[in-house]
Amino acid sequence: MADATGRVVVVMPAYNAARTLRRTVEDLPAGHYDQVILVDDASGDDTVRLAHELGLTVFVHERNRGYGANQKTCYREALRAGAEIVVMVHPDYQYDPRVLPDILAPIRSGRADVVFASRFLGTSVMAQGMPWWKWLGNRVLTMVENRVFGLQLSEFHTGYRAYARSILERLDLEANSDDFVFDQEITAQLVEAGARFAEVPVATRYFPEASSLRFGGSVVYGLKVIRLLVRHRRGRSK
């Protein structure tokens, strides 16, 4: 079990993750979490069966509702399960699960309310296989987001994050999108709530089974992020 500073619940928003789920779960460091909740977004593979086999707590969407909708269920069920710290990690094995103790530390010490595991701290992400166009898009969006949000983070687009219960409970998650821009909408809400941010480095892997937006989807995502930033900037200038 995790230490006495608070119940840790790991949440996994899953869609067709059967090929990578076992490796992701098995690499989570034992003793640093109390429960793993997987929310399946109407997968067409054996994700649900395997999740039950691994002893995870499983919730299933009867139809595909989108990445953002999946996270809403993740956080709602984690808080209902008594989590004091909620950690989201994608079950596609792209992010190294073994950094869990590092991502928990800033919240446990009281230094942060939210922690991002950044691919841009430490080893070159392009050397780890990130496509150049994804690297460029991430760098441009992160630069703009830092200016708009008044932060100095190395990355805003990570799929490995930790939140203190106290900050999650202050956010209107249901007001956010059901698609991929949810990650940046929750970031905007965190900024508005005065959350304290921290980052830790994480190694990543790029391979066919790792879920990732393709070029066209990334362009659409980027445009949605820009639209969000414009709305946020206008809202704060009133």
Q: Any idea which of 25-34, 73-82, 207-216, 228-237 has the lowest mean pLDDT?
A: 207-216
Query: Cα(134)–Cα(143) distance, rounded to whole angstroms?
Result: 14
For the record, the structure tokens of 167 come out as 């900050």
Q: Could you tell me the sign of the dihedral formed by the alpha carbons of 120, 124, 128, 129, in that order?
A: positive
Q: Any idea which of 20-34, 109-123, 223-237 has the lowest mean pLDDT?
A: 223-237
| pLDDT tens digit sequence for 176-225 | 999 989 999 999 999 999 999 999 999 887 655 555 556 556 667 667 77
Are residues 153 and 142 in contact, defined by beta-carbon separation less than 8 angstroms? Answer: yes
Residue 3: its pLDDT value, please? 42
Query: Cα(94)–Cα(159) distance, rounded to whole angstroms?
Result: 9
This prediction has a pTM of: 0.88
Pairing, β 8-14 against β 35-40: parallel
